[in-house]
């Protein structure tokens, strides 16, 4: 019905109509550019974070910004949104350009953290990592092309080097 052969998702898959295989964990890191931090301050907690410009990732289904999540699943809504995107790569680009603080998936943030283009903020508030899953519909015989792509994605995304931890 949803015309999905194979999908990849960060987060829980709540639809029982899919077969899902968890392949990795993805952290969520609070990040900012050195440029932004030079203009403002490094937040020491959520109260100070609320004073900084932030980016927001738009939920296409609702038209609202996604909440950020912190330790023990605590949701938080950015207060001073300076940039809104509907895809995570554009949000990461805005963060790199110094437009706001962002909560980025670890797989997107780590290369920029290692290069110094981004700074990690408040790591003590990081939420538990979210599952990265490959999924497909549960319906009856699976075409060979779907099984091939499903299995190839599981193999490729299960490689721990794709989602390395920070040293």
Closest by CA to 165, choosing from 22, 21, 24, is 24
Residues 6+ apart with CB under 8 A from 61: none
pLDDT one-digit tens code per residue, 46-88: 999 999 999 999 988 899 999 999 998 899 999 899 999 999 9
User: Structure pTM?
Assistant: 0.84
């Amino acid at each position: 019905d949803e015309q999905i052969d194979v999908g990849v998702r960060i987060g829980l898959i709540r639809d029982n109509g899919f077969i899902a295989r968890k392949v990795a964990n993805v952290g969520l890191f609070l990040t900012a550019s050195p440029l932004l931090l030079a203009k403002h301050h490094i937040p020491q907690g959520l109260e100070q974070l609320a004073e900084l410009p932030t980016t927001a990732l738009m939920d296409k289904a609702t038209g609202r910004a996604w909440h950020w999540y912190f330790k023990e699943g605590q949701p938080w809504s950015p207060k001073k949104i300076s940039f809104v995107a509907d895809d995570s790569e554009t949000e990461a680009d805005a963060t790199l350009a110094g437009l706001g603080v962002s909560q980025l998936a670890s797989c997107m943030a780590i290369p920029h953290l290692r290069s110094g283009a981004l700074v990690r903020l408040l790591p003590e508030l990081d939420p538990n990592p979210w599952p990265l899953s490959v999924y497909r519909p549960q319906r009856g015989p699976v075409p060979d092309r779907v099984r091939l792509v499903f299995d190839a994605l599981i193999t490729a995304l299960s490689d721990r080097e794709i989602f390395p931890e920070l040293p």
